[in-house]
Amino acid sequence: MEINEGDDDEFGFSRNYFLAKELGGSAKKSTRKLSDIDLVDEQELRTAVANIEPKHEKEIEELMSSYKTMYPRWVFEIRCGFGLLMYGFGSKKALIEDFASTALTEYSVFVINGYLHSINMKQVLIALAELVWDQLRTKRKNPSGNLSRGQQPFNSRSMDDLLAFLDEPLAEENDGFICIVVHNIDGPGLRDSETQQILARLASCSRIRIVASIDHVNAPLLWDKKMVHTQFNWCWYHVPTFAAYKVEGMFFPLILANGNTGQSAKTAALVLLSLTPNAQSVFRVLAEYQLSHPDEEGMPVENLYTTCRERFLASSQVTLNSHLTEFKDHELVKTRRHSDGQDCLYIPLTAEALEKLLLEIS
């Protein structure tokens, strides 16, 4: 049987391949490790990144101006019941916030930062329900701040009850709606199936409209056909901004950098500054106690409640618990059992980082 030249070449290639693999296996392996890499300080690396000179500023400015001409169209689509979904290269945070602050001044705007690593959807629904209740009370000229007789407080209601309240039909045309801005609806704190189902149900409520952004290439896989076309009812807009993900990136560690206490304090400060002043004051009470009692395992919950009542920061245990839930969701505060059996609260930061954090939020 004849063997042509092509078969000889193929055989020679295969033989050389296996010979190379055999020799490579017997060779001395490298002793280098990932830990041997000299990583720079994280804050130093972030400072260097922040100082990179922007390019094509004129073109980007013209691009942003072209988006602003679309604001009236976006408002019209929101009023018609559609949701807006922004995608494209670059952070959309500044663009969406500019749209909300200039074109949605007639409506209440509620912001969800999906780039945070943990978000409590129950607290989001409670806050939205309270906002709707305040609007109804104001428009119907009801000076009483209490819920109507027989109505259950929002913080003791189930998720289904809260969604049902938000989905009640508008009694009057001028009752309006709440526009929810979701930065990174595909973010780590919102990416699970259960949370997306809740967001979809929320988007379909009569009193709610959603403006959101996505950045992950596989974000559309989070939704099925019903969620996209019936519940979210998305209008997709390709709006590349070429802006740096400065705020969104603060919550992700840089691969080529070592973390430090200063960076931990700065990240925690960004989370705290997004909370209410009252919540920040409660956190300060806990931080000051931890700094003044470094040898203790934490601050007992009862002691924190007593101190907050004396300083008029929490009128009830329920109010304090809502703050603590928010702290725990953002991993700002943790709980551990004291030797006498009671639960104690502590902040998982060093004393140095905690002092820097208090300076950051002052």
Are 57-137+155-238 and 260-361 in the same CATH fold? no
Tokens of 271: 């989370």
Tell me the mean pLDDT in the region 45-66: 86
Tell the residue number behind the tokens 């000299």, with chain if given: 38
Q: What is the pTM of this model?
A: 0.62
pLDDT digits (tens, 9 = 90+) for 174-206: 557 899 999 999 998 898 899 999 999 999 998
Q: Give yes or no for a contact between 243 and 56, defined as CB atoms under 8 angstroms apart.
A: no
* pLDDT (mean) for 303-326: 87
**Helix, strand or coil for residue 140?**
coil
Q: In this structure, what token pair is assigned to residue 118? A: 């943990």
> Dihedral sign, CA of 140, 144, 146, 151?
negative
Mean pLDDT of 202-228: 92
Across 223-252, average pLDDT: 89
Say what the pLDDT of residue 171 is.
Answer: 59
pLDDT for residue 71: 96
Give me the CATH topology for the region 57-137+155-238: Rossmann fold (3.40.50)
pLDDT at position 150 = 43
What's the pLDDT tens digit per position in 130-171?
A: 888 888 777 665 555 455 544 557 888 889 999 998 888 765
Q: What is the mean pLDDT of residues 202-214?
A: 93
pLDDT digits (tens, 9 = 90+) for 321-340: 888 888 887 778 888 887 77
Any idea where the domains of the chain sit in the sequence? Answer: 57-137+155-238, 260-361
Residue 144's identity, in one-letter code, is S
pLDDT at 52: 80
Give the pLDDT confidence score for residue 199 in this predicted structure: 95
The pLDDT of residue 29? 44
Q: How confident is residue 34, by pLDDT bands cut at 50, 70 and 90?
A: very low
Among 1-10, 92-101, 130-139, whose mean pLDDT is lowest? 1-10
Q: Which residues face 212 on adjacent strands?
A: 85, 182
Percentage, residues of the chain above pLDDT 90: 36
Is it the case that residue 125 has pLDDT exceeding 60?
A: yes
What is the CATH architecture of 260-361? Orthogonal Bundle (1.10)
| Mean pLDDT of all residues in 317-321 | 86
Query: pLDDT tens across 243-288, in order?
Result: 988 888 776 655 555 555 555 666 677 778 778 888 889 999 999 9
If we measure between CA atoms, which residue out of 322, 329, 327 comes closest to residue 346? 327
Q: Is 26 exposed, middle or buried (0-12, 13-18, 19+ CB in 10 A)?
A: exposed
Residue 42, pLDDT score: 65
To which H or E segment does residue 10 belong?
A: helix 5-26
Q: Are 361 and 280 in contact (CB under 8 A)?
A: yes
Mean pLDDT across the chain, nearest whole number?
82
- What's the pLDDT at 2? 53
Do 93 and 211 form a contact (C-beta atoms < 8 A)? no
